[in-house]
């Protein structure tokens, strides 16, 4: 039996990147999908959503912004009406942002906080009544290693993802006795359109290389590797896991290398 057979998953940011990879992985395991994204799926990782729909007939993608509570409410209601339940919520919608506090524009700060944090809150707020009625559910927030430790110039993004981590823990406390598990995934730097929109800017080639090297596996992660972790948290295999931040970062937060490995024959660089 597939691990998510008969379950319904509502995924924000479903048209590309990690959200689309989660959709495809969940569909392979038997879930029906209700996607929500401000964009239509196009090329690249957007093909994951198209593949997910082929694997899970009846899946739908609603277009809307996670900052729009009414649009979210309508999409959640449509999913409930179509499928009778929502078992899994993946809050994957997010944006990157940069700038130290004294330089970042207020509008940019608000955009990052509103999409990454408020969008997570709004989607959760809309889905939770359905899960409370069912007496079951699994909610997965996409946080970041940048919600665990700082990253230069990342004031708004760091703040938003750190807040998502604490929101996750609060929700795990509030809803655990109601049969609802709430966890977060903290990816390292993942090769997605979101990361490439930032790290692909001119002048960041050397920075990108240093960040890649900071991952102890020597590479950036892939969206499907995050989707595999999300599948575990969504499935009954994680039935005793709640309030947990699962770090999937290729060793980025494990520590640092200073060249000693070369002296011991452990570093090929």
In CATH, what number is assigned to the domain containing residue 244?
A: 3.40.50.720
Two tokens at 239?
């039935």
Number of structural domains found in the chain: 1
| Domain contains 268 | no
Domain assignment of residue 135, given as a range: 8-263
How many whole angstroms separate alpha carbon 234 and alpha carbon 137? 8
In a domain, 2, yes or no: no
pLDDT in tens, 2-29: 999 999 999 999 999 999 999 999 999 9
Q: Where does residue 104 fall: left (phi above 0), alpha (psi -120 to 50 degrees), or beta otherwise?
A: beta
The answer to whether position 3 is within a domain reads no
State mean pLDDT over 98-107.
94
pTM over 0.75: yes
For the chain, the helix, strand and coil percentages under 3-state DSSP, each to the nearest 5: 50, 15, 35
Residue with tokens 């008969």, as numbered in its chain: 6
Query: Using one digit for the tens of pLDDT, what is the confidence trace for 219-267?
Result: 999 999 999 999 999 999 999 999 999 999 999 999 988 877 776 778 6
CA 50, 52, 54, 59 torsion-angle sign: negative
Helix spans in 153-203 (H): 155-175, 193-199
Would you say residue 80 lies in a domain? yes
Which residues have CB under 8 Å from 60's CB, separation 6+? 33, 34, 35, 78, 79, 82
Whole-number Cα distances in Å, 97 to 6, 24, 47, 206, 254 = 37, 27, 25, 19, 24
Is 91 among the domain residues? yes
Task: For tokens 């937060």, name the residue.
Answer: 253
Can you read off the two tokens belonging to residue 176? 């655990």
> Is the Cβ–Cβ distance between 123 and 16 less than 8 Å?
no
Residue 1 resides in a domain:
no
Report residue 212 as tokens.
Answer: 């890649």
Q: Could you read off the pLDDT of 153-191 as tens digits, one per residue? A: 899 999 999 999 999 999 999 999 999 999 999 999 999
Report long-range pairs for 148-155 (Cβ below 8 Å, ≥24 apart). 148/186, 148/245, 148/247, 148/253, 149/253, 153/98, 153/99, 153/100, 154/97, 154/98, 155/99, 155/100, 155/101, 155/104, 155/109
Q: Give how far Cα 203 sits from Cα of 9, 143, 256, Å.
A: 40, 27, 25
Query: Measured on CA atoms in the order 19, 25, 29, 33, is the torsion positive or negative?
Result: positive
The residue-averaged pLDDT of 127-147 equals: 97
| Dist CA 220 CA 252 (whole Å) | 10
Over residues 61-73, the pLDDT tens digits come to 999 999 999 999 9
Residue 269 lies in a domain: no
- Residues forming the active site: 157
Structural domain contains residue 151: yes
Q: How many CB atoms lie within 10 A of CB 197?
A: 11
269 band by pLDDT with thresholds 50, 70 and 90: low
Two tokens, residue 210: 């240093």
Higher-pLDDT residue of 193, 209: 209
């Amino acid at each position: 039996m597939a691990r998510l057979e008969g379950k319904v998953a509502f995924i924000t940011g479903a048209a590309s990147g990690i959200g689309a990879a989660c959709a495809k992985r969940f569909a392979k395991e038997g879930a029906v999908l209700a996607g929500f994204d401000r964009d239509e799926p196009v090329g690249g990782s957007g093909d994951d959503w198209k593949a997910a729909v082929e694997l899970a007939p009846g899946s739908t993608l609603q277009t809307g912004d996670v900052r729009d509570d009414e649009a979210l409410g309508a999409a959640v209601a449509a999913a409930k009406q179509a499928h009778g339940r929502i078992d899994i919520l993946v809050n994957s919608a997010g944006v990157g942002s940069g700038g130290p506090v004294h330089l970042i524009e207020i509008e940019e700060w608000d955009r990052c906080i509103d999409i990454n944090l408020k969008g997570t809150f709004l989607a959760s707020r809309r889905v939770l009544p359905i899960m409370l009625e069912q007496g079951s559910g699994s909610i997965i927030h996409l946080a970041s290693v940048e919600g665990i430790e700082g990253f230069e110039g990342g004031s708004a993004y760091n703040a938003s993802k750190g807040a998502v981590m604490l929101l996750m823990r609060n929700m795990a406390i509030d809803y655990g006795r109601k049969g609802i598990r709430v966890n977060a995934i903290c990816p390292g730097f993942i090769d997605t359109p979101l990361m490439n929109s930032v790290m692909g800017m001119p002048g960041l080639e050397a920075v990108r290389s240093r960040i890649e090297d900071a991952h102890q596996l020597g590479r950036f992660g892939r969206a499907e590797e995050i989707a595999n972790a999300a599948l575990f948290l969504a499935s009954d295999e994680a039935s005793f896991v709640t309030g947990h931040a699962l770090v999937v970062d290729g060793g980025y937060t494990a520590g640092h290398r200073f060249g000693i490995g070369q002296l011991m024959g452990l570093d090929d660089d």
